[in-house]
Amino acid sequence: MNTEPVPGEPPQSGRFLALYALAWAGGSAAYIPILTVLLPARVAEFAGASAVTWLAAIAFCGAVAASLANILAGLLSDVARRRRWPALAGLAGYALLTPLFAVAETLPQFLVLIAAWQSALNLLLAPLAAWAADSVPDRQKGLLGGLLAFAPATGAAAGALATLPLLTALEARLTVVVGLVACAVLPVVLFGHPRAIPALEAEDDRSGAPRKHGAAARMWLARLLVQISEATLFAYLYLWLRGLDSGFDQAEVARLFLVMLALGIPVSLAVGRWSDRHGEPIGPLRAGAGIAAAGLAAMALAQTTELALLGYAAFTLATAVFLSLHSAQVLRVLPKRSRRGRDLGIFNLTNTMPSLIMPALTIALVPQLGFSGLFGVLAALALLAPFVLPRG
């Protein structure tokens, strides 16, 4: 990959980058509070002992809908050659569908709603992702990755805000989430006017297509290997810690998670700026995946809660940096400029497929080898990522 700045290539304006980062953070706030807190609590009201089964079915249906919708929404914005209006339509659909989570009561209702809701959400997110590919030159991809690190922490903060004790009704909590998302996304959709970057608007370079296809495939696989570990930890961390210490406080996990996500912001910004200055887009990704693997190995070997939390902290910080920087650097290797939205939809499969892979992996390993065996396998998968990544 060519990491040298194009001679005379103008940088993107700081104003647009700030508005874009705010919108991307709003995208995380759009789904994290609902999928992690509000929807599970609503399902538990009606499913009773079947809540786990209901949630598994809802998660599966949602992952499939999100996978297909993101690709189709990205392709739509490619064909229309517009990013704003599809994103605005997605935001409108999201705002209309989200309050219906307070109305759904049966499993079929939840399944239909999650499919429609994920479709609207991805109609918002896919054009936003492609807009960055259209607007941010390679010389600022590291900075962009650092700014994207605000998104996970914003999503977690939105969940905390939406569940404040003064908001007792689900309808009020959902309204707060929709309001936060609208306030974050609308500024860039309505007032974001990025500078035109001629190098990003040029026609597809067919001579370099095979090389870019190979680099894109390697970036895709590396992210999938890390995301499988991240999704598994997200689902089973608390059960594992309870196995180490039956008196473990789940609030301690939540605090540690928030602290690591918060630390990930300045670390990602610093590393991203370093990668821009030194023309090293891939090196930080290799380091992040390697540290994540080391954290998982520590968790697999941990016999004490202290070592377990230390390994988890290293893993969480490293993956936060890896995923945010990867999201920006992958924009360098998209094979077709005219199909950036579609190609990013294919990359989005690395975010949804782990939810389909992780349950089977856990069921196959934990009964025989315990969580230590599972984390050992996850460490091996994460350790493959630095070797899979393309050359810088």
The pLDDT tens digits for 165-208 are 888 899 999 999 999 999 999 999 999 999 998 888 776 666 55
Whether the predicted pLDDT of 7 surpasses 60: no
Query: What pLDDT is stored for residue 2 in this prediction?
Result: 40
pLDDT band for position 251 (cuts 50, 70, 90): low
Tokens of 55: 């949630």
Q: What is the pLDDT of residue 5?
A: 44
pLDDT per residue over 66-115, tens digit each? 999 999 999 999 999 899 999 999 999 999 999 999 999 999 999 999 99
Distance in angstroms (rounded) separating the CA atoms of residues 230 and 184: 26
How much is the pLDDT for 236? Answer: 77
Q: What is the pLDDT of residue 1?
A: 39
Residue 232 near residue 361, CB atoms below 8 Å: yes
Number of neighbouring beta carbons within 10 Å of residue 303? 9
Q: Which of 93, 135, 178 is nearest to 337 (CA)?
A: 135
Torsion sign, CA atoms 138, 142, 148, 150: negative
DSSP letter for 332, please: G
* CATH topology for the 12-202 domain: Growth Hormone; Chain: A; (1.20.1250)
pLDDT of residue 216 exceeding 80, the answer is yes
The DSSP-derived string for 134-184 is HH--GGGHHHHHHHHTHHHHHHHHHHHHHT-TT--SHHHHHHHHHHHHHHH
Task: Give 6's pLDDT tier (boundaries 50, 70, 90).
Answer: very low
Mean pLDDT of the chain: 90
What is the model's pLDDT at position 268? 96
For residue 31, the one-letter residue type is Y
Could you give the percent of the chain with pLDDT greater than 70?
Answer: 93
pLDDT on residue 337: 87
What separation in angstroms does the CA of 298 have from each of 228, 251, 292, 304, 374?
A: 17, 22, 10, 11, 12
Q: Domain locations in the chain?
A: 12-202, 208-392
**Range with the poorest average pLDDT among 100-114, 234-248, 278-292, 310-324:** 234-248
Asked if pLDDT for residue 300 goes beyond 80, the answer is: yes
Cα-Cα end-to-end distance for the chain = 6
pLDDT at position 8 is 54
Give the pLDDT confidence score for residue 254 in this predicted structure: 67
Closest CA to 69 of 324, 346, 335: 346
- Phi and psi at residue 353, to the nearest 5°: -60, -35
Lowest-confidence region among 3-7, 37-41, 288-292: 3-7
Q: What is the distance between the alpha carbons of residues 86 and 101, in angstroms, rounded to a whole number?
A: 23
| pLDDT score, position 3 | 38
Using a 10 angstrom Cβ sphere, with 0-12 exposed, 13-18 middle and 19 or more buried, the burial of residue 270 is middle
Average pLDDT over residues 214-236: 91
d(CA 95, CA 243): 40
At the second CATH level, the architecture of 208-392 is Up-down Bundle (1.20)
Residue 372 burial by Cβ neighbours in a 10 Å radius (0-12, 13-18, 19+): middle
Give per-residue pLDDT as tens, 127-154.
999 999 999 999 999 999 999 999 998 9
Q: Is 217 exposed, middle or buried (0-12, 13-18, 19+ CB in 10 A)?
A: middle
Instruction: Answer whether 12-202 and 208-392 agree in fold.
Output: yes
pLDDT of residue 208: 58
DSSP conformational letter for 109: H
pLDDT digits (tens, 9 = 90+) for 354-368: 988 888 888 888 888
Q: Return d(Cα 131, Cα 219) in angstroms, integer.
A: 20
Average pLDDT over residues 264-282: 95
Confidence of residue 232 (pLDDT cuts 50, 70, 90): confident
Q: Are 136 and 10 in contact (CB under 8 A)?
A: no
| Confidence at 213, pLDDT banded by 50, 70, 90 | confident
